[in-house]
Structure 1
Amino acid sequence: MRLRNALTLAAAYLAAAGAVQAAPAAPDLDALVTYETRQVTAAGVLRTEIWKERLIRRGDAVWTERVLPSQAHAAHAHESSAEHAGHKHFNFDSAARWVRRDATGQTQLQYVDREHRMVVSVPQAEYGAVGFDGRWDAAAHIVPPSVIEHMPVQASAGRDGTWHVEKGSGWSHRVLWSDARQVALRVESSRGDGSFKRVVTVVPVAAQATLPWQGAGSYTQKEYDDFMD
């Protein structure tokens, strides 16, 4: 499962939120999202993982793309091409995720490799294989509005939004929700025993003049099954 979808707050509250609801119309959003996870494994190893993504929301389309540091580009350059020789390969972790909602409310999922000019469509039956929970509202809002509605209000943060807090089943969740932007600006999730903590921070940035999916129609179009052995 992709790290960015592991133990998401949306999944943790899916039962409490009830049936999946269509997310309301939301304003355009460009943001930098930082994920930081600290976990103590059964072997006693403290594992820290930090990564960033660029998020763009326009109407019924949400684009998320990993922001790769220079070290990641260097590591990629040192990979041996022999690793994938004769093997069909697509890196869903490094590709951009393009989630859209059609007129009937159905979710469409595609991954875009802009370097190799390739678009891969993923059917609903394979969402789990690529670490997608199937919820457009979670992709668009970080935490679905239907989940926020079930979380008690803790305090106002002024213009930044409102803190919502929920505790139960050994977990604690705090969400700084912005009504104006219709997005969770900060999500803090932790286990009561201290073995796991995750913080998601959303920082709005200036909108780009050119949307990253423009021109994707001219890319090579593939299906998920094309990469099955």
Structure 2
Amino acid sequence: MTASVTLKTLLAATALVAFPLAASAAGDAEAPDQNLRIQHHMMSIGKDGVQRESRYADLMFRRAGSVWVERELPPALREDHDHEAREGKVHIGHAHADNTAAPLWVRRDAAGKVQVGMVLREQRKLIDIDAANYGNVGYSGSWANSYWLVDPASLARMKDLGAAGKGVQRYELKQGEGTLRIDWDTAGRYARKIEQRNARGTSVNVMTASAIPAPKALPWKAIEAYERGDYSDLLD
């Protein structure tokens, strides 16, 4: 996966208030390049009183018309995934298969057409993902949420919390018993932080994005010679 399922869920609230951004396609080209480490933290307390937490991080590289996202894995886990790939065990229909470690490359052309590809490095394949299977690879179906981490159009319907300071404008949206807060990087044009929590404090979802050094070579440059395949190739 890559374009995180949790992020998709977290941003559902902003999608409810979003309206079309007329300059969206043109705005992509105007946005600065970004290299980000995106940390996710989810906490919930069930009716049984048990607190459950999960944390993980993705790496994201954004250029005009392209977004690359991949899970940050400890070396030992990365070795396990690579071994399964070498053994030809990347089949979505198998219980042991785990496509969450596969990078996702999302592209948008000048006409607004979006292409989603899942990268299998060890097999040297780029798997084209059709819209019906977006959810299976963790893509929300929203180019804006992938490119900016939150659709900029939704911010206009949120309450701004004072003037921008240190390059960040904060927004808030109350929805029922829940609160959504977004820290928007005004220069970098992406969400630095997205936080959603309920009034009782039993559910918290937080995404935090921080800048990292640019890679020596953009990751999609390394896959130009990869064989192309379809998602159906991975099914039993």
What percent of counterpart residues are identical?
29
1:224 aligns with 2:224: no
Superposition deviation, residue 115 in structure 1: 3.1
**Counterpart check, 1:107 vs 2:114:** yes
Secondary structure of 1:159 counterpart = coil
| Cα distance in structure 1, aligned partners of 2:68 and 2:213 | 15
Q: Deviations over 1:49-75 (max 9, x none)?
A: 111111100001000111111342466
Per the alignment, residue 50 of structure 1 pairs with 55
Structure 1 residue 209, shift from structure 2 partner: 2.5
Quote the Cα distance in structure 1 between the aligned partners of 2:90 and 2:180: 45
Distance 1:73 1:124, change over 3 A: closer
Q: Secondary structure at the match of 1:133?
A: coil
Shift of 1:160: 3.2
**Structure-2 separation of matches of 1:224 and 1:91:** 14
- How far apart are residue 199 of structure 1 and its match? 1.2
CA contact (8 A) 1:66 1:96 kept: yes
Indicate which of 206, 215, 218 corresponds to 1:211.
218
* 2: CA distance, partners of 1:71 / 1:33: 21
What's the counterpart of residue 12 of structure 1?
A: 13
Aligned residue pair count: 228
> Any idea what SS the aligned residue of 1:121 has?
strand
Equivalent of residue 202 in structure 1, options 197, 209, 212? 209
Q: Following superposition of structure 1 onto structure 2, how do residues 26-41 of structure 1 map, counting pairs within 5 Å?
A: 26-41=31-46
Query: Take 2:99 and 2:185, find their aligned partners in 1: how far apart are those partners?
Result: 30
Q: Does 1:60 align with 2:47?
A: no
**Deviation digits for residues 116-172 of structure 1 (CA, Å, limit 9, x no counterpart):** 322111001221232322111101111110112211101345223111111112211
Query: Does structure 1 conserve the Cα–Cα contact (< 8 Å) formed by 2:2 and 2:101?
Result: no
Paired residues of 1:10 and 1:147 also in contact (CA < 8 A): no
**Aligned-residue RMSD, C-alpha:** 2.9
* Cα distance, 1:191 vs structure 2: 1.8
**Distance in 1 between residues matched to 2:92 and 2:70, nearest whole Å:** 25
Partners of 1:33 and 1:52 within 8 A in 2:
yes
TM-score of the superposition, structure 2-length normalised?
0.84
Distance 2:16 2:91 in 1: 44
Q: TM-score, normalised by structure 1?
A: 0.87
Unaligned runs of 5+ in 2: none
Structure 1 position 35, deviation (Å): 0.7
3-state DSSP class of the match of 2:224?
Answer: helix
Q: Specify the alignment match of 2:141 in structure 1.
A: 134
